[in-house]
Every structure is written in C-alpha cells, then in structure tokens.
C-alpha cells in the first residue's frame, strides 16, 4: 500500500492506494493521525478511492483513527470509496459509523 498525507485548512487529508492490510504502513498512518491531533487538527479525510482491498487489520486502522479523532471532538470522513470497498463498508455496517463523502467540500467545519 502507498499513501500520502497533508494538512490543509485545518484538515488532515490522507490518500491511500493499493491494499490496506494493516502492515507497517498502518502504524505510520496512525502516527500521522496522532501528530495531527496534537496540532489541534480535528477533521481527517481519508481518500480511499484508489484502495482495492481492505482486510480486518486495515479496518482496525481506520477504526483506531476514528476513535482518536472522536475522542478529541473531531471527525473522520472516508472519501470516494471504490465499488468493492463500498460493498465491504455496507456488509460490515461501517457505512453507519463512518461519514462517507464524495468530495472535500462536503466536510463542514
């Protein structure tokens, strides 16, 4: 899996591509989220449009990020899930826990 991140307009934007399977990148992504929270960033947008697959460890990474942000009064948004990832979110009922958006402009500060 590959990922990039940036903070803009007090929002952390993480873009993921490939397969989110909780490997070493999972730890790095969690560290980025923790650092952003320490910098008072309370919104996290995770662009998952280029993810092909997520396993249970990858779901754990997403839920951990969500927990970290919500514990500080923030929110996590999953942006543009691919069809296969959208199906997984529905099957696991995670679509009821995460806010699913199609663009950054949908995030209300």
| Cα 97 from Cα 66, distance rounded (Å) | 9
Residue 2: the pLDDT is 92
Residue 23: the pLDDT is 75
With 90 as the cut, is the pLDDT of residue 109 above it?
Answer: no
pLDDT in tens, 8-25: 889 999 999 999 987 778
pLDDT in tens, 29-72: 999 999 999 999 999 999 999 999 999 999 999 999 999 999 99
At the fourth CATH level, the homologous superfamily of domain 2-106 is STAS domain (3.30.750.24)
Residue with tokens 């995460």: 98
Residue with tokens 């970290």: 68
Q: In DSSP terms, which residues pair with 44 in a beta bridge? A: 12, 76
Residue 108: the pLDDT is 67
Per the prediction, the chain carries an average pLDDT of 93
Domain boundaries, given as residue ranges, for the chain: 2-106
């Amino acid at each position: 899996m590959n990922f990039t991140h940036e903070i803009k307009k007090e929002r952390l934007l993480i873009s993921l591509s490939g397969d989110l399977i909780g490997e070493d990148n999972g730890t790095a992504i969690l560290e980025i989220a923790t650092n952003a929270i320490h910098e008072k960033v309370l919104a996290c947008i995770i662009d998952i449009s280029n993810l092909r697959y997520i396993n249970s460890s990858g779901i754990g990474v997403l839920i951990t990020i969500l927990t970290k942000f919500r514990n500080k009064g923030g929110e996590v948004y999953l942006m543009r899930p691919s069809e296969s990832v959208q199906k997984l979110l529905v099957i696991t009922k995670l679509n009821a826990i995460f806010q699913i958006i199609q663009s950054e402009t949908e995030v209300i500060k």
